[in-house]
């Protein structure tokens, strides 16, 4: 059979992968509903252990645009990282700047690692953040207990 060859990624390959991710992040995100120059909007950040999804809506809740770590080009375990979440937020921030948004309400849901980094990158882009709400669902009654064991 012979020896097994393990292929290790070189620095060039890792740089190419990084460039590919950055180009996908810069790619223009098309708005789902073409809405005129709305000044206010709501950003819903859903961060799980596997992915980070950020949705831009108007104040009535109609989706304007969305982006996720997977749609930008991250694969596997890299989708759940704070770096991926900040790139997703930067991608959506470009869309918001094109639409002329100034004020944002942020709604955060989930327990993933990308929660804070997505908020920080949106704040760094210069948007006026009016409120940050944590809407993570909490269990209140618990599971039904096991039935009593009869011997």
SS (H, E, C) 2-59: CCCCCCCCCHHHHHHHHHHHHHHHHCCCCCCCCCCCCCEEEEEEEECCCCEEEEEECC
Q: Give the predicted TM-score (pTM) of the model.
A: 0.71
The CATH number of 37-134 is 3.30.420.80
pLDDT higher than threshold 90 for residue 150: yes
Q: Would you state the pLDDT for residue 82? A: 93
User: How does pLDDT run across 130-147, given as a tens digit for each residue?
Assistant: 999 999 988 888 888 899
Between 150 and 30, the more confident residue is 150
Q: What percent of the chain has pLDDT over 90?
A: 56
CA-to-CA dists, residue 58 to 82, 136, 137, angstroms: 25, 21, 23
**pLDDT-based confidence at 27, cuts 50/70/90?**
low
pLDDT higher than threshold 90 for residue 151: no
Q: Would you state the pLDDT for residue 32? A: 45
pLDDT higher than threshold 80 for residue 45: yes
User: How does pLDDT run across 31-43, given as a tens digit for each residue?
Assistant: 444 555 668 999 9
- Average pLDDT of the residues of the chain: 85
Q: What percent of the chain has pLDDT over 70?
A: 83
Q: Provide the CA 69 distance to its chain's centre, in angstroms.
A: 6
């Amino acid at each position: 059979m012979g020896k097994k060859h393990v292929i290790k990624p070189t620095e060039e390959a890792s740089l190419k992968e990084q460039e590919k991710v950055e180009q996908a992040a810069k790619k223009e995100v098309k708005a789902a509903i073409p809405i005129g120059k709305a000044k206010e909007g709501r950003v819903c950040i859903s961060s799980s252990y596997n992915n980070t999804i950020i949705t831009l809506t108007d104040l009535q809740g109609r989706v304007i645009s969305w982006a996720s770590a997977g749609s930008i080009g991250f694969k596997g375990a890299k989708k759940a990282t704070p770096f991926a979440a900040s790139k997703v937020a930067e991608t959506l921030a470009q869309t918001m700047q094109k639409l002329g948004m100034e004020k944002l309400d942020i709604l955060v849901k989930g327990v993933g690692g990308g929660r804070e980094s997505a908020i920080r990158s949106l704040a760094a882009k210069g948007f006026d953040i009016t409120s940050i709400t944590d809407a993570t669902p909490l269990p209140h009654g618990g599971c039904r207990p096991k039935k009593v064991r009869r011997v």
